[in-house]
Structure 1
Amino acid sequence: MLDGCTTWPADLAARYVRDGLWRGQDLGGLPRRWAERSGGKTALVHGETRLSYRELADRIDRTAAGFADRGIAPGDRVVVQLPNTPDFVIVVFALFRVGAKPVFSLASHRANEIRHLLSLSGAVAYVVPGVHRGFDHDALAALMLAEVPTLRQVFTTGDAGFTTLSEVDAEPQAPRSNDPSDVAFFLLSGGTTALPKLIPRTHDDYAYQTRAVAEVCGVTADDVYLAALPVEFNFTWGCPGVIGTFGVGGTVVLAADPGAEDSFRLVERERVTFTSLVPTVAHLWLEEREWSTADLSSLRFVQIGGARLQPGLAARIEPELGARLQQVFGMAEGLLSMTRADDDLDAVVHTQGHPISPADEIRIVDENDREVPAGVAGELLTRGPYTLRGYYRADEHNKRAFTADGFYRSGDLASLTAEGRLVIEGRLKDVVIRGGDKVSAGEVEGHLLAHPEVARAAVVPVPDEFLGERIYAFLVHRDDKPALPELKRALHERGLAEFKLPDRVEYVEAFPLTPLGKVDKKVLAAAAADPGLARDWAPVEPKEG
């Protein structure tokens, strides 16, 4: 195992092997196996580019040889910052092939984040998309070369004097085998208040995750997956996403961004059967669907995850998009929980289903780490065959983030139904402490969204000298803007306690979003505390950069 990473205890690792979960698979060897199985079938579509499984494997093998010729060696970390193009898939698998460790970066990351990722990982190389969406990544790479001592090489799709990806090409070499228990690549933690932490994912754990989730979803060789969200997201890359679809012989369609108009066009043209979205994008898809004439009849199901999906929005998916909703709760750190095709409507709308693996372990605990009964909310703790045992080079943080017996403290506020289904209530810290009473922002948001004139709701705390914090609700309206007294009356009629009612309401045109497409409550809280701050948040969608 790479230095700085935490291994699974020997007894658990042996159990996962014995139970057939970890099968000794090397991610770098998968494309050639897929090519032997599926040959000339279309694997990857991007614009007018169509690559068969055989063509994709050949490109990966040649790129791997090109990286090796340019000094990329087993164990090297390489930050990969590419948009949704075939280059991302080819580069990542080529790095797997030579035993290097890709570090996934959002295309929207800039100097502060990239400097952090390069330094923390000790990366020797950085892969960039030249000029993308008006930003000069080559110039950023030049700056990083001057600032980060370990960084030796830059590979680009541009032409700024660095090695271009088209030059990373050589006659394939004898395949190298990776230790399946070793780190394959790094995902990023998704917090909004600090620089991301690195999440090590091993060959064994990620191969198992993608197989297990593809089985839960019933994905087959006949399926066509639309990668609408950034491909570097765990959700898009492996839930089942790109790898899971390749694993069963299906076809992956890469979208430039998740915008409804372009995505609908791709669904119609490529006969897409499933996709994965965050709630903010799902909302925009529903708005587009009101007038769009696109043929979406090929869609079998739509996965929605990445943030809490309000029941009102969940209930609209199947009637309006004509595809079954699959609620997904997941984290780059590991645990995935999903509704199933045979779940009843109530379970699909109001829960996040069951974990994908029988080996997933879940605890819901109170502030003293005591397990709480079904129906009672507490912090979600988890461990399992694809959930990390520690962040990379983060010993002090790991002491707080894991229990003594290796359960990961997710920071999510959750409960279990009597049937064992997971219900995500929000983030543990997403609360307003009003006069000593803890109020769940997610609970108040859910009640606000039940009002017919409220399209979207986000609740944040605002400092108050008397109560400590008051409840501040940002709302996006439909036709009318109900005043605060009317909203309070409606919430009271729904049975919401007096101390949970909003103290202040502000209507806005849109919410600020993080690069992951989640509502940026840090920005909203700052705005609530300072009425003078601009509220010019455009109705945006998570994009590649």
Structure 2
Amino acid sequence: MLDGCVPWPEEFAERYRAAGYWKDETLGEMLRARARERGERPALVVGQERYTYAELDARADRVAAGLLALGIGPGDRVVVQLPNTAGFVALIFGLFRLGALPVFALPAHRSSEIGYFCAFTGAAAYAIPDEPEYRALAEEVRAGLPALKHVLTTIPEAEPVELPRPDPADVALFLLSGGTTGVPKLVPRTHQEWAYSGRAVAEACDYDASTVHLVSLPLGHNWPLTHGLLATVHAGGTLVLASGPSPDETFPLVEREGVTETGLVPGVALLWMEAAEWGEHDLSSLRRVTIGGSKLSDELATRVEPALGCRLQQAFGMAEGLCGFHRPADPPEVVLVSQGLPVSPADELRVVDEDDRDVPPGEIGQLLARGPYTIRGYYRSPEHNAQSFTSDGFYRTGDLVRLLPTGHVVFEGRVKDQINRGGDKIAAEEVENHLLAHPKVRQVALVGVPDEVLGERGCACVVPRGEPPTLAELAAFLRERGLAAFKVPDRLWIMAEFPLTPLGKVSKKALTAMVG
């Protein structure tokens, strides 16, 4: 295990290997296996670029050799800040094959984040689009980091060479933690456990060679990487990349490529549903749309299948590991109100109170997780690890959940996404779900604002549907739905649009700063 990373205890590692969750296979070898089995099958489509599995595998070999020729070798870190391109996919598989470690950044990151990633990991290279904005960003970052030897504006390639085989138990990549405060923590993922997460997703979602998965969210995030890239490659399906989720770009791709699967965040799903009403493109190939990233409200969930003409699947997950999806056989009443089942039978969940005591079945508590693809600690972060992991290795997700009798997880908010109004604690998502049923509310986010008397008061930030609602209208509406009076927002803030995180989630941190 890489220095600064927390390994799994050997008893757990032996258990996961014996059960077949961890295999003696690297991520680069996973692609090689698909190339042997399905060499001429389509693997990747990006615009007019098309690669079979054999072609993608061969390009990964050339990229690995090109990186080596530049002096980038096993164990070196490469910060990858690329859009959804074929070069992105070829680069990361070349890195996996070489034994160098990609550090996944997002397109929206700027010098503060990129400089931190490069300095903290001792990165040898930084891969960017060949565009003036990113070249200027790279020059700014590189000026203070002499160890950063290469800025890659093109993907290097050379004649393939023999390479030493990485150890499947070694760290293969770094993801970014999903927190929205401070600089993201780095999440080390190994070849064997990250490959298993993709395999487990493919099995849970019944992927096969006929799967055509469209990724339109930034590929550098764990969800598109596992649900999209890894699961599709494991199944031998076809991955289609779009530069963004706009219906103007994605709907023609769905029609042209016969897309069967895609993943959306709720705000994008709403755009798709509205565009589908007047759109002229044939979306009938879609079997299923998976919505995750943040909780899909019950109200919105009921509208997805009629609007898009395909099955709704909800999902949850985190860069630290644990993820879950509905199963194809799950009944509609479960799909509408829950966010899915963990993908692995070896996933262990606990729902606990503030003192780490298990809450009674069905009650809301903090979610703890442990399993064969959930990390045991962040990279070089002993202080964070002491707070974020229990002594017996459970990860504190920071999510408030309850479990249905079926084991499905219902997300009720974040531990920090809670308003303490004079001692009465309000789960923001509960109120948001009610407000979304109001005909004048298109989007809503409830945040806490400081109050000298009560500590905090609730403020409903609303993107209206046509004429904006008044606070009195919303208060009356909530009371009619039987909501406790202390949960009714004290303030209303009308907005044209919400500030977003790089993945497209609503940034409650930014909202709180705006209205506080």
Question: Take 1:419 and 1:155, find their aligned partners in 2: how far apart are those partners?
Answer: 49
- Of 140-149 and 458-467, the range deviating more from structure 2: 140-149
| Deviation of 1:376 (Å) | 1.0
Q: 1:295-314 maps to which residues of 2 (within 5 A)?
A: 295-314=282-301
Aligned-pair CA distance for 1:54 = 1.1
Give the whole-Å Cα distance in 2 for the aligned partners of 1:227 and 1:483: 38
Give the conservation status (yes or no) of the 8 Å contact 1:364–1:372: yes
Report if aligned partners of 1:339, 1:348 keep a CA contact under 8 Å in 2. Answer: yes
| Deviation at residue 224 of structure 1 after TM alignment | 0.6
Aligned to 1:541: none
Equivalent residues, number: 516
**Shift in Å at residue 31 of structure 1?**
2.2
Structure 2 equivalent of residue 513 of structure 1 = 500
| TM alignment of 1:225-304, pairs within 5 A | 225-239=213-227, 241-304=228-291
Aligned-partner residue type, residue 228 of structure 1: S
Change in CA separation of 1:465 and 1:123 when aligned onto 2, cut-off 3 Å: same
Counterpart selection for 1:207 from 156, 179, 195: 195
Instruction: Supply the distance in 1 between the matched residues of 2:212 and 2:397 (Cα, whole angstroms).
Output: 32
Query: Corresponding residue for 1:61?
Result: 61
Counterpart secondary structure, 1:193: coil
Q: Specify the code of the residue in structure 2 equivalent to 1:234.
A: N
Equivalent position amino acid for 1:126 in 2: Y
Question: What's the C-alpha RMSD, in Å, of the aligned pairs?
Answer: 1.1
Checking the alignment, whether the CA contact within 8 Å between 1:190 and 1:516 is kept in structure 2 is: no
Q: Is the 8 A contact 1:79 1:103 kept in 2?
A: yes
Shift of 1:452: 2.2
AA aligned opposite 1:341: P
Instruction: List alignment gaps of at least 5 residues for structure 2.
Output: none
Aligned to 1:145: 142
Aligned partner of 2:36 in structure 1 is 36
Q: 1:170 aligns with which of 126, 146, 158?
A: 158
The corresponding residue for 1:182 is: 170
Deviation per CA, 1:3-40, whole angstroms, max 9, x where unpaired? 01000000000000011110111112222222111112
Aligned counterparts, 1:466-477, within 5 A: 466-477=453-464
User: What SS is found at the alignment partner of 2:467?
Assistant: coil
What TM-score results when the alignment is normalised by the length of structure 2?
0.98
Distance 1:122 1:152 in 2: 10
Of 387, 391, 394, 2:378 maps to 391
Task: Determine the structure 1 residue equivalent to 2:326.
Answer: 339
Residues 183 and 200, structure 1, Cα contact 8 Å, conserved in 2: yes
Q: Distance in 2 between matches of 1:71 and 1:64?
A: 11
Partner of 2:401: 414
**Rounded Cα–Cα distance in structure 2 between residues aligned with 1:489 and 1:52:** 58
**Aligned match of 1:162:** none
Asked if residue 457 in structure 1 is aligned to residue 444 in structure 2, the reply is: yes
Kept after mapping to 2: 8 A contact 1:5/1:393:
yes
State the Cα deviation string for residues 333-368 of structure 1 (Å, max 9, x = none).
100111111111111011012111110000000001
1:98 equivalenced with 2:106 (yes/no): no
Q: Is the CA contact (8 Å cut-off) linking 2:295 and 2:339 kept in structure 1?
A: no
Which amino acid in structure 2 is aligned with residue 90 of structure 1? A
Q: Does 1:439 align with 2:426?
A: yes
CA contact under 8 A between 2:460 and 2:491: conserved in structure 1? yes
- Give the aligned residue type for 2:313: Q
What is the TM-score normalised by the length of structure 1?
0.93
- Measured in 1, the distance between the counterparts of 2:315 and 2:27 equals 24
Contact in 1 for aligned 2:283/2:308 (Cα 8 Å):
yes
User: 1: CA distance between counterparts of 2:496 and 2:445?
Assistant: 13
- Residues of 2 paired with 1:189 and 1:170: CA distance? 34
Within 2, Cα distance between the matches of 1:150 and 1:345?
54
Distance 1:304 1:78 in 2: 30
Q: How far apart are 1:176 and its partner, in Å?
A: 2.8
The counterpart of 2:184, out of the listed 184, 196, 213, is 196
Q: Distance in 2 between matches of 1:527 and 1:67?
A: 45
> What's the secondary structure of 1:28's corresponding residue?
helix
Percent identity between the two aligned chains: 54
Q: Corresponding residue for 1:130?
A: 130
Q: Secondary structure of the equivalent of 1:68?
A: helix
1:476 and 1:138 map into 2 onto residues whose CA distance is: 36
Query: Contact between 1:189 and 1:198, CA under 8 Å: does it hold in 2?
Result: yes
Give structure 1 regions of 4+ aligned residues with deviation exceeding 3 angstroms: none
Alignment correspondent of 2:486: 499
Conserved 8 A contact 1:198-1:392: yes
> Are the counterparts in 2 of residues 78 and 103 from structure 1 also a CA contact under 8 Å?
yes
User: Any idea what SS the aligned residue of 1:235 has?
Assistant: helix
* 1:425 and 2:425 matched: no
SS in 2 for 1:513: coil
Pair 1:364-2:351 in alignment: yes
Moved more, 27-36 or 254-263: 27-36
Match of 1:155 in 2: 152
Q: Give the superposition deviation at 1:506.
A: 2.0
Structure 1, 368-377 or 401-410: larger mean CA deviation: 368-377
**Equivalent position SS for 1:364:** strand
TM-superposition CA deviations, 1:222-241 (whole Å, max 9, x none) = 111101111111111112x1
Do the aligned partners of 2:107 and 2:502 also contact (CA within 8 Å) in 1? no
Shift of 1:175: 4.0
* Alpha-carbon shift at residue 120 of structure 1 (Å): 1.1
Q: Distance in 2 between matches of 1:27 and 1:8?
A: 19
Residue 23 of structure 1 aligns to a residue whose secondary structure is: coil
Name whichever of 250-259 and 27-36 sits farther off: 27-36
Partner residue of 1:539? none
Distance in structure 1 (CA, Å) of the matches to 2:491 and 2:33: 59
Structure 1 Cα separation of the partners of residues 165 and 222 of structure 2:
24
Question: 2:340 & 2:212 partners in 1: Cα distance?
Answer: 24
1:24-79, Cα deviation, whole Å (9 max, x unpaired): 11112222222111112211111111111111111110111111111111111111
Q: Pick closer, same or farther for the CA change 1:445–1:65 going to 2, 3 Å.
A: same
Shift of 1:375: 2.0
Task: Tell whether the 8 Å contact from 1:21 to 1:385 is kept in structure 2 after alignment.
Answer: yes
Q: Give the secondary structure class of the aligned counterpart of 2:322.
A: strand
Residues in 2 aligned to 1:364 and 1:217: alpha-carbon distance in whole angstroms: 25
Query: In the alignment, what sits opposite 2:205?
Result: 217
Shift of 1:418: 2.0
How far apart, CA to CA, are the structure 2 residues paired with 1:6 and 1:176? 24
Instruction: Give me the whole-angstrom Cα distance separating, in 2, the residues matched to 1:349 and 1:338.
Output: 12
